A and B are shown apart, each in its own frame.
Chain A
Amino acid sequence: MKFTSLLASAAMALGLATGAVAEDKTKVGFVYVGPVGDGGWTYEHDKGRQAVEKHFGDKVETVYVESVPEGPDAERVMTQMALEGADLIFTTSFGYMDPTINVAKKFPNVKFEHATGYKTAPNVSVYSARFYEGRAVQGTIAGRMTKSNIIGYIGSYPIPEVIRGINSAYIHAKKVNPDVQFKIVWAYTWFDPAKEADAAKVLIEQGADVILQHTDSTAPQAAAQEAGNVITFGQASDMSEYAPLPRVSSIIDNWAPYYIARTQAVMDGTWESVNTWHGIKEGMVEIGEISEAVPADVKAEALALKDAIASGEYHPFTGPLNKQDGSPWLAEGEVADDGTLAGMNFYVEGLEGEIPQ
């Protein structure tokens, strides 16, 4: 009893002390699911963090913890950050959703921003990027480039964000190549280079000559390079070190403008809980340089699609579209609403296999 109260008061004193010191500086915390050097997802978030430091200079202090497992340990890390006086905390993986909400309840004065989730609170915002717009461009290139008509897809976890990507890529590959078939493998990890490489090798052994990945490391790129005659796309980051082959293009997540804007909002006291979902138009999703390995007409087609999405003239989920079981989803010309997209838990017609529940 005595010991715990001692600890509590020590923690409070510590919190007060750091709070006092950090008063003139806005402290921004980041929780990462992988190492900052993964070359993909976490690497881009950390570039966003560095942009915040560069933009605000002395007025801001940033801290980050990398390779935090999605689960109870994430709560510990967030609590620690809040106790150390963070004013704003970005939690950058889907699996941090419930931990973020739990910790946010305990620290009503700290602002939280959770990436790719859907649960908000007065002090919790959610933000994500419309990666499916980039997947539409990838699907088009993949459908045109495949010779075996088998496209391998490495999924991480069966969550709406990943399923949206699979659907979007499939719809657009099928549109340009009706014979295309998707082989989907779930790795059940965001970051495990050896396992990601194994998954890529398995898909290649089973005939895939295009590999799309929704995991964080560059390992599938290395595996494809080793195999030869296989094309890949950079995921989350440009992964240009694997260009021009196997990497022929990429989806780049650009978080920096959002991170800077939200930090500014905290400084100005104008921060509010929002639900942000930006795409190619706002620049949160970028399409990396399409390499010379792609024929000029395919490149032009992909860029035209990108421009149509950016201008709002085309939506990647436009009817007529059926669900996997053949039941109608979107009528001719109808566009999917954000609510359905955010909670997407079904495959579109033509995809094989079941989504793990």
Chain B
Amino acid sequence: MNLGEINPILLIASLMVAATPLLLAAIGELVVEKAGVLNLGVEGMMIVGAISGFAISVETGSPWLGFVAAAMGGALLSLLFVLLTQFALANQVASGLALTLFGLGLSALLGQSYVGIKPPSMGDIHIPVLSDLPVIGPILFQHDPILYVGIALTAGVWAMLKYTRAGLILRAVGENHDAAHALGYKVVRIRVLALLFGGACAGLGGAYISLIRVPQWTEGMTAGVGWIALALVVFASWKPWRTLLGAYLFGGITVLQLNLQAAGVAIPVEYLAMSPYIITILVLVILSADKSRAPASLGRIFHASH
């Protein structure tokens, strides 16, 4: 065992990278659930985002266009969910599961010719002075731009939900859609917008895996991150900053436990392997002792005639 082999600066830098796909997907789903819709199709939207982003950035040579395409791809897939649940009034759980299955299949089909190709690299940003600071520079100021987009989105969603009129309306729709409807708010329109946002975020998260974290295209490469994002939203009590904390904890401990294993620390590997799940759940459950609860209309179908 030799803990000295673990470089703490590289560790913290790579935990932020490992956490970002999860954070992006979870922040999108948080907004969706705050609007009272349960979309279990996160995994499907992520994988479609992963291939749309990969394909477009390979074809155009621009990772930026890739991420734009990924957001559009995720949002486009969520439109299918919109159609099923908001207009055909289908069951949200079943529609969400169907969306995931459909997304996995569709992405495998679209990705046929992209196996084994290296995508164009996005490159890390470099801020004069700040990036050159010792320790803090490599940890905070030498990442790819999308990582900062994730943090900015978290801040934006938090401020929007807490301080703006739009956020208040969104929450009202999620808490009691009948009352919101009676007040004259367009429940369906607001939910559609929330779902599109959720789809775009999930798409970005997927593309982050295929363009930056791995970077390659492989079928089924999101391998369950979407489901973890769904669980994270619940454990984080639908609060943006806790979602960020949870994502960083999960990503961080995942990377940390691999580091500990490689350094030969004498903790049984089974415990290390399960630690990301257990510690994240434990911390978030303790935090949620303040009786925060789910949006009251979560998962309920709305029809104006009710």
A residues adjacent to B (C-beta < 8 A): 34-39, 67, 152, 158, 183-186, 188-189, 191-195, 197-199, 201-203, 205-208, 217-219, 221-223, 225-226, 239, 241-242, 352-354, 356-357
Chain B contacts of A353 at CB under 8 A?
A: 264
Map CB proximity to A onto B91-131 as digits: 1 under 8 Å, 0 otherwise: 00000000000000000100110011110000000000000
CB of B305 within 8 A of chain A?
no
- Of chain B, the residue at the smallest CB distance from A193 is B221
Q: Are A35 and B258 in contact (CB under 8 A)?
A: no
Q: Does B209 contact A (CB under 8 A)?
A: yes
Q: Which B residues contact A (CB, under 8 angstroms)?
A: 5-7, 10-11, 14, 18, 21, 108, 111-112, 115-118, 209, 213-216, 218-225, 254-255, 258-259, 261-264, 266, 268-270, 273
**In whole angstroms, how far apart are the Cα atoms of A39 and B216 in the complex?**
11
Assembled-state Cα–Cα distance A357/B209 (Å):
31
Chain A residue with the shortest CB-CB distance to B119: A222
| Selected A-B contacts with CB under 8 Å, 19 pairs | A35-B108, A37-B115, A191-B220, A192-B224, A195-B223, A198-B18, A198-B255, A199-B258, A203-B262, A206-B5, A206-B263, A208-B262, A222-B215, A226-B215, A241-B115, A354-B269, A356-B268, A356-B270, A357-B268
Instruction: Knowing that A188-B273, A219-B218, A225-B118 touch, tell me 11 more A-B residue pairs with CB under 8 angstroms.
Output: A37-B219, A38-B220, A39-B218, A194-B213, A198-B255, A202-B262, A219-B214, A222-B215, A226-B215, A239-B116, A353-B264
In the complex, which residues of chain B have a beta carbon less than 8 angstroms from the beta carbon of A37? 108, 111-112, 115, 218-220
Shortest Cβ gap from A102 to chain B (Å): 25
Q: How long is the Cα–Cα vector from A207 to B263 in the complex, in angstroms?
A: 10
Inter-subunit contact A195/B218 (CB<8 Å): no
A203: chain B residues at CB < 8 Å are: 262
Complex Cα gap A225–B215 (Å): 10
Q: Is there contact, CB below 8 Å, between B218 and A197? A: no
Q: Is the CB of B216 within 8 A of A222?
A: yes
List of B residues within 8 angstroms of A185 by Cβ:
258, 261-262
Question: In the complex, what residues of B have CB within 8 A of residue A208's CB?
Answer: 262
Rounded to whole angstroms, the CA-CA distance of A19 and B14 in the bound complex is 54
A-B contact count (CB 8 A): 117
**Which of A34, A199, A205, A223 is the most central at the interface, judged by chain B CB atoms within 10 Å of its CB?**
A205
- B221: chain A residues at CB < 8 Å are 193-194, 217, 219
Asked whether, in the complex, the Cβ of A39 is within 8 Å of the Cβ of B273, the reply is no
CA–CA, A56 and B157, complex, Å: 59
Complex CA distance for A200 and B40, rounded to whole angstroms: 31
Complex: A207 Cα to B10 Cα, angstroms:
12
Q: Are B214 and A356 in contact (CB under 8 A)?
A: no
Bound complex: CA A152 to CA B262 (Å): 8
Selected from A67, A195, A205, the residue in CB contact (under 8 A) with B220 is A67
Nearest opposing residue in chain B for A152, CB measure: B262
Query: Measured between C-beta atoms, what is the minimum distance from B289 to chain A in Å?
Result: 31
Q: Determine the chain A residues whose CB is within 8 A of the CB of B5 once the complex forms.
A: 206-207
From A35, A197, A242, B213 is in contact (CB under 8 Å) with A197
Query: Which 5 residue pairs are nearest across A and B when measured between Cβ atoms?
Result: A241-B116, A37-B219, A35-B219, A356-B269, A192-B223
The CA of A207 and the CA of B7, in the complex, are separated in Å by 11
Cross-chain contact A186 with B6 (CB below 8 angstroms):
no
Cβ contacts under 8 Å, A35 to chain B: 108, 218-220
